[in-house]
Amino acid sequence: MASSFDSTIASLGLSSTANTTANTATSKSTSLGQADFLKLMTAQMKNQDPFDPVDNTQMVAQMAQFSSLAGITEMSSTLTAIAEKLGATSLQDAVSYVGRTVLTEGNVALGRSAGGIAGAIELEGDASNVTVSISDANGQLLHTADLGAQKAGTISYDWDGLDTAGANAGTGPFSVVVSATSGTQAIGATSLVWAPVTSVSTTTGSPVLTLPGIGEIPASAVRQIG
């Protein structure tokens, strides 16, 4: 026989522990919200034993719990909104990128007017050896740099634009391949290149930058602005 508590819960349209399994497929929530809390407290008051009613201390404690729940819920929503605002890049901010260079993930880089390229590597772990290989548009290897042992994090490199024969390799585009190892184990390495921003769009709702040789990237993918 169902207890009076189960009957009260059922009358409110909520599931008791005994009915949890049967209602799992149709239940949309597994936690109590403010409305459910208020329903339960109201039901408790309506169904309390008239010979042993809830005293003032218990009532104040329950009201304090409800107030805390409401405050925490509102605070959580506010903090979420603030975090989204602080983490987003506005269109005005993104438009200011046009004509400037940004550091972002990529394997194609254009040469500087003075020759060569600069870039960076994001290492997922400590490496005993890090290598950068730069080739021309036809796949011809132009330069290989051994950066040696490096700690996890972001490391920078700079190539002067001279190929293995000492000749000027031009302005590219150049293909960049990075690799890292720790002994015989491969370490995750992400190539970052500098690229000019030619335009900004918001077709997806968030600012998107267009970079020559790389294509379109979200503004959030920018690691650094030159």
Name the residue among 144, 160, 152 with its Cα closest to residue 121.
Answer: 152
pLDDT of residue 25: 43
Q: Which runs of E-coded beta strand occur in the chain?
A: 101-105, 108-109, 117-123, 127-135, 141-150, 153-159, 174-182, 185-186, 189-196, 199-201, 208-211, 215-218, 224-225
pLDDT greater than 90 at residue 82? no
The DSSP bridge partners found for residue 105 are: 192
pLDDT at position 208, please?
84
Question: Residue 53, preceding bond cis, omega within 30 degrees?
Answer: no
Give the separation between CA 31 and CA 73, rounded to whole angstroms.
Answer: 13
pLDDT digits (tens, 9 = 90+) for 6-65: 555 555 555 544 444 444 444 455 555 566 666 776 776 676 666 666 565 666 566 666
Indicate if the pLDDT at residue 130 is higher than 80. yes
Q: Amino acid letter at 26?
A: T
pLDDT at residue 129, rounded to an integer: 94
Mean pLDDT of 180-198: 92
Q: What is the pLDDT of residue 26?
A: 45
Domain boundaries, the chain: 4-87, 92-225
Higher-confidence residue of 179 and 222: namely: 179
**Which of 87, 86, 89, 85 lies closest to 102, judged by CA?**
89
**The CATH number of domain 92-225, selected from 1.20.120.420, 2.50.20.10, 2.60.40.4070, 1.10.10.10:** 2.60.40.4070
Output 79 or 208, whichever has higher pLDDT: 208
Q: Would you say residue 149 has pLDDT above 70?
A: yes
Mean pLDDT for 214-224 is 86
Which are the contacts of 218, defined by CB distance < 8 A and separation ≥ 6?
A: 204, 206, 207, 208, 209
Interval 207-222 mean pLDDT: 86
CA distance 37 to 71: 14
pLDDT tens readout for residues 193-212: 999 888 888 766 678 888 88
